[in-house]
Amino acid sequence: MCGIVGYTGPREAYPIILKGLKRLEYRGYDSSGVALLNADLKVYKKKGKVAELEESVVGKDVHAFTGIGHTRWATHGEPSDRNAHPHRSKSGNLAMIHNGIIENYASIKQDLQKKGYEFKSDTDTEVLLNFIEDIKENNNCTTEQALRIALKRVVGAYCVLLIDKDDPETIIAARKGSPLVIGIGKGEHFLASDASPIIEYTKEVVYVNDYEIAIVKPDELILKNLGNEKQTPFIQKLDMELAAIEKGGYDHFMLKEIFDQPGSIFDCLRGRLNADAGTITMSGVENHLPSLINAQRIVMVACGTSWHAGLLAEYLFEDICRIPVEVEYASEFRYRNPVINKGDVIIAISQSGETADTLVALENAKEKGAFIFGVVNAVGSSIARMSNAGAYTHAGPEIGVASTKAFTGQLAVLAMMAFKIGYAKGTIDEKRYQHLLTELWNIPDKVAQILEDTSNIQAIAEKYKDAADFLYLGRGYNFPVALEGALKLKEISYIHAEGYPAAEMKHGPIALVDENLPVVFVATKDKYYEKIVSNVQEIKARKGKVIAVATEGDTVIPGMADDVMYVPDADEALAPLLSVIPLQLLSYYIGIAKGLDVDKPRNLAKSVTVE
Ligand code: G6P
């Protein structure tokens, strides 16, 4: 939520910042801006996407060797030029960008207003900035000291970058709850919300921790805690290539990421799953096997698409490991005083590893003694670092706002965990274990098969793109897939869509069915197949339009459905890894047919770092 970039060094700052903002647009894109520091402090900002800022800045003076930039997802104040970051302090000497929310901004604002401060924007950021300036003036202290004093008084989450006209080579940064990476170059430093704006310049990075302040100059990086004690920066090497964050010839990141899936699922299995030897190697699981096997309960904690992966994991772990599972929305779990007992295992699922609700829910649970296992995509992210153990999904950077390859990566990791734990526990026998391993190993090839020809799905998208509503139905392992299909459609095409357990539709949604309602059935061959055939008939009897995801070779469902998207056969526990692919494509092609920006759908952001 909001992307931030900073640069200080011998190069022109503006092009580096602009390029970085474009890479971070997935975090928010309702307005953007830059502050450039030379002899003078210049601020340019604009409502809309980064391209609009770029256009508005053409011909203006952008010469500077130090600067900061921001792409916004609005929290306080509507998207507009004046609410865009960076904000300037009353004197005009300080400029700041901010990712997060200052919860007690209203009382600070009132105090400042009593002192005569006037505000140009509706943002909490401008309040924090003037609070810093006020402290600086009253205490006759440095900007860094004033920032430290201010941060001790604020409640909320932040990553801020602050520049001061009187100190033209320095960027002061601080974080609590919102991510910050600093790239270390030769005589230059790069700051960003994630590593994507940095990797083409350097692979050496420092992930700043909560409650740390960084004083960044071209030749120097000083890290301190809020108590003003110096901290030793922990320099890590980035394991990421530039190509991984580029479109690679595809029109959109979303399409690229859908087509990445044979490779990204394989990357997730590689080095872990050996179907011939019948082994799964996952050090995070092996090192904590007793806690996992003896778990009294597993609680899946996640948001959005990752929550759907958690729901699927409930089916997997209960079926295969015979461990009771609950699936929790992180935003509810963190506030409702949940019962957490010794012996509970929390599995945190997150692509970004930065989702604020998930992070805080886990911190609360950890304090109560729960064991946290992180299933995370972004290496080095906050959730990965705070987990007691974990397994990365290795899907590579996911940039399209709607999650695709991270989801299938999550399913692959969770499946391997369930198989390994179930086998060690003795709740699945050798034969089933071997069968599941071979089935999982074959998934990447089967995904590639689905992707060989998508023309049928494009035609279906064209046919139904003007529908006002969609219903998605599935049973068993395919029910979470129905939820995920509906979510993808809402996110990308702005068409109202609901996912439901196929049998439950008789308790309400069936009233919506008429000749205008497309109903997507996730109806692959599994133990519920006969039941879902009956549900399809119930919809047809009411003249609904049926679009089915069916198993290749099936003749019954295709005989009843108006349109069919085929997937290869697979064990029902793994079928979601296949059945979700046509649904991702369907939403993508409907979004394209409607002329929408599928990579940056309105109002959404990829990494939700506010609650
Ligand atoms: C946002 C994104 C979703 C994602 C959800 C959870 O809503 O748009 O794609 O599923 O956050 O994010 P996480 O990074 O924790 O998986």
**Is the domain of 284 the same as that of 157?**
no
Final residue of a domain: which of 414, 431, 451?
A: 451
Task: Determine whether 15 is exposed, middle or buried from the number of CB atoms within 10 Å of its CB (0-12, 13-18, 19+).
Answer: exposed
Cα 101 to Cα 155: distance, rounded to the nearest angstrom: 8
**Is the domain of 425 the same as that of 562?**
no
Q: For ligand 1, atom 1, which residue shows the shortest CA distance? A: 606
Q: For ligand 1, atom 7, which residue shows the shortest CA distance? A: 304
Given this model, what pLDDT does residue 234 score? 93
**Is the domain of 196 the same as that of 267?**
no
**Is the domain of 92 the same as that of 224?**
yes
Given this model, what pLDDT does residue 376 score? 96
Given this model, what pLDDT does residue 249 score? 85
**Is the domain of 407 the same as that of 470?**
no
Percent of the chain with pLDDT over 70: 100
Of 98, 97, 78, 79, which is closest to residue 34 (Cα–Cα)? 97
Mean pLDDT of 363-390: 92
Query: Cα(328) to centroid of ligand 1, in Å?
Result: 14
> Contact at 8 Å (CB) between 239 and 378?
no
Q: For ligand 1, atom 5, which residue shows the shortest CA distance? A: 304
Residue 394 CA to its chain's centroid (Å): 14
- The residue to mutate among 1, 194, 303, 598, having the most atoms of ligand 1 within 8 angstroms of its beta carbon, is 303
**Is the domain of 429 the same as that of 466?**
no
**Is the domain of 379 the same as that of 365?**
yes
Residue 608 has pLDDT above 80, yes or no: no
Given this model, what pLDDT does residue 289 score? 95
Residue 510 in tokens: 């069936």
Q: What is the CATH number of the domain that holds 185?
A: 3.60.20.10
Query: Cα(14) to centroid of ligand 1, in Å?
Result: 30
**Domain for residue 609, yes or no?**
no
- The residue to mutate among 193, 327, 328, 352, having the most atoms of ligand 1 within 8 angstroms of its beta carbon, is 352
Residues 438-468 pLDDT 10s: 999 999 999 999 999 999 999 999 999 999 9
**Is the domain of 289 the same as that of 231?**
no
Ligand 1, residue 302: give the atom nearest the CA. 15
**Domain for residue 607, yes or no?**
no
Given this model, what pLDDT does residue 460 score? 98
- The residue to mutate among 359, 488, 608, having the most atoms of ligand 1 within 8 angstroms of its beta carbon, is 608
Q: What is the CATH number of the domain that holds 255?
A: 3.40.50.10490
Given this model, what pLDDT does residue 576 score? 98
Residues 144-171 pLDDT 10s: 999 999 999 999 889 999 999 999 999 9
Final residue of a domain: which of 243, 268, 290?
A: 243
**Is the domain of 223 the same as that of 312?**
no
Instruction: Give residues (CB < 6 A) around ligand 1.
Output: 303-306, 350-352, 355, 358, 401-403, 604, 606-608
Final residue of a domain: which of 413, 435, 451?
A: 451
The mean pLDDT value of the chain amounts to: 94
How many structural domains comprise the chain?
A: 3
Given this model, what pLDDT does residue 139 score? 95
Q: Which positions are annotated as active-site residues?
A: 2, 606
178 — pLDDT class (breaks 50, 70, 90):
confident
Q: Is 468 helix (H, G, I), strand (E, B) or coil?
A: coil
Ligand 1, residue 378: give the atom nearest the CA. 14
Residues 187-231 pLDDT 10s: 999 999 999 999 999 999 999 999 999 999 999 999 999 999 999
239 — pLDDT class (breaks 50, 70, 90):
confident
- Which helix (H) or strand (E) element contains residue 252? none
Mean pLDDT of 63-71: 97
Given this model, what pLDDT does residue 313 score? 98
**Domain for residue 197, yes or no?**
yes
**Is the domain of 555 the same as that of 471?**
yes
Residue 320 in tokens: 């295969």
Which residue is listed with tokens 């003003």?
228
Query: Cα(475) to centroid of ligand 1, in Å?
Result: 24
Task: Determine whether 437 is exposed, middle or buried from the number of CB atoms within 10 Å of its CB (0-12, 13-18, 19+).
Answer: buried
Of 107, 98, 106, 74, which is closest to residue 177 (Cα–Cα)? 98
Given this model, what pLDDT does residue 77 score? 80
Query: Cα(264) to centroid of ligand 1, in Å?
Result: 18
Instruction: Tell me how crowded residue 187 is: count the other CB atoms within 10 A of its CB.
Output: 11
Query: Cα(171) to centroid of ligand 1, in Å?
Result: 30
Mean pLDDT of 280-292: 95
Ligand 1, residue 403: give the atom nearest the CA. 9
**Is the domain of 593 the same as that of 554?**
yes
247 — pLDDT class (breaks 50, 70, 90):
confident
Given this model, what pLDDT does residue 75 score? 78
**Domain for residue 611, yes or no?**
no
Query: Cα(443) to centroid of ligand 1, in Å?
Result: 24
Of 306 and 381, more confident: 306
What pTM does this model have? 0.84
Mean pLDDT of 129-139: 97
Find the domain containing 292 and state its range.
247-451
**Domain for residue 15, yes or no?**
yes
Given this model, what pLDDT does residue 583 score? 98
Given this model, what pLDDT does residue 548 score? 97
Given this model, what pLDDT does residue 337 score? 86
Sheet with 563-567, edge to edge strand ranges = 496-501, 469-474, 518-522, 545-551, 563-567
Query: Cα(90) to centroid of ligand 1, in Å?
Result: 37
- The residue to mutate among 403, 408, 611, having the most atoms of ligand 1 within 8 angstroms of its beta carbon, is 403
Residues 324-343 pLDDT 10s: 999 999 999 988 888 988 88
Given this model, what pLDDT does residue 27 score? 85
> How far is CA 134 from each of CA 114, 158, 527, 596, rounded to the nearest angstrom?
12, 19, 68, 45
Residues 485-517 pLDDT 10s: 999 999 999 999 999 999 898 898 888 888 999
**Is the domain of 378 the same as that of 310?**
yes
